[in-house]
Amino acid sequence: MPATIQSLEAVLVDIPTIRPHKLSMTTMGVQTMVIVRIKDSDGLEGLGEATTIGGLAYGPESPESVKLTIDTYFKPQLINQPADNINTLRVMLDRSSRGNNLAKSAIETALLDLLGKRLNRPVSELLGGAIHQHIPVLWTLASGDTARDIDEAGTLMAAKRHCDFKLKIGSRPVMDDVRHVAAIKAAVGDEASVRVDVNQAWDEATAARGMAELQAAGIDLVEQPTPMKDFAALARLSAKFHIPILADEAVADATDMYKLAAEGFSGAVAMKIAKAGGPLRVLEQAAVAKAAGIGLYGGTLLEGTIGTAASLHAWSTLDTLHWGSEMFGPLLMKDDIVVQPLNFHDNGVDLPRGPGLGVEIDEDKLAEYRRK
């Protein structure tokens, strides 16, 4: 008899960040995660996570809505189903509910973790096998203060924890942002790559002006300068400048990737397991991007260790991450809810070892931070 799903729990967890994290649409001081725990009839447990940046200020799903979706709609469908046929369960959820990719990603991750533990194999092997055991990771400088950001970058470079940096801009006048970014690039010099994330804050005309200035300042990459569904603007801007554009909010899944490529976009894409609906789905998106000659970047919604580990297992199976990754979410939080944190060193992070995701819940920490 195959093992069946016996219980499913979605827990809201609130962990303060080490500093305010400023985006164009909000500033974060606490990260909220939805931790999913699926137990099967043999007593094994799979872990998943759904996380967003700034709740509904960022996208259509909030942590609270993810928990409601899982508790009210997904759980009744999944209880007593065979736990090992992930594709069948994915199709079942897709037919009964539209969208809700963050919630679906947490479920898919937990099912992969559960299957990996059953087979005593890491999730990366279930996805075809890891090519890389160490994934490069950049750091986001998002205090909004130029001097503070320069000091932070210098400290991290000296410690060899990060050598690539992303700056969150878009909430101030364009030239104020450009001066802020240019000063940081001048301070770190050629020792570090500096990129910017505009989080959709500019219209096309402002983006053209901003990108010209950023290109002159030596910035390497501009992430999502214009509104998410204006594919034509992204394509026009990518043709106009040699500084590449990183499509983020514009691309959730493989279908979005195809449509943007068909518009003539060239550049790179920020893949995120949560946007795509899970590790399996995000690799479908990677295949479309690769076929279109679009560079790959391992993106994050600032997940904690569980969601970050799931992403790392997916990224490890790709032969080339052209722009590295930003899997620094656990480092932005003041504490963790796992027994063994991820190992960040040498400007990157190690792929967790062990069956499944390779992470284990710290029950005391979970009890401390779970929302009462």
DSSP-assigned letters across all residues of 338-353 = BSS---EETTEEEPPP
Give the span between the Cα atoms of 291 and 303, in whole angstroms: 28
Give the span between the Cα atoms of 99 and 253, in whole angstroms: 11
Whether 267 contacts 295, CB under 8 Å: yes
Give the span between the Cα atoms of 218 and 199, in whole angstroms: 20
Residue tagged active-site, from 166, 168, 185, 275 = 168
What SS3 class is residue 322? coil
Name the residue among 205, 295, 182, 224 with its Cα closest to residue 24: 224
Supply angle C-alpha 269, 274, 275, rounded to 5. Answer: 50
What SS3 class is residue 28? strand
Please report, for residues 23, 84, 233, 275, 307, the alpha-carbon distance to residue 99 in angstroms, rounded to integers and kept in the order given.
24, 23, 25, 10, 19
Phi, psi (degrees; rounded to nearest 5) at 352: -60, 145
DSSP annotation of 191 reads G
Is 185 one of the annotated active-site residues of the chain?
A: no
Give the span between the Cα atoms of 261 and 266, in whole angstroms: 7
Count of alpha carbons within 13 angstroms of residue 163, beta-carbon side: 15
Is 326 one of the annotated active-site residues of the chain?
A: yes
Enzyme catalytic residues: 168, 326
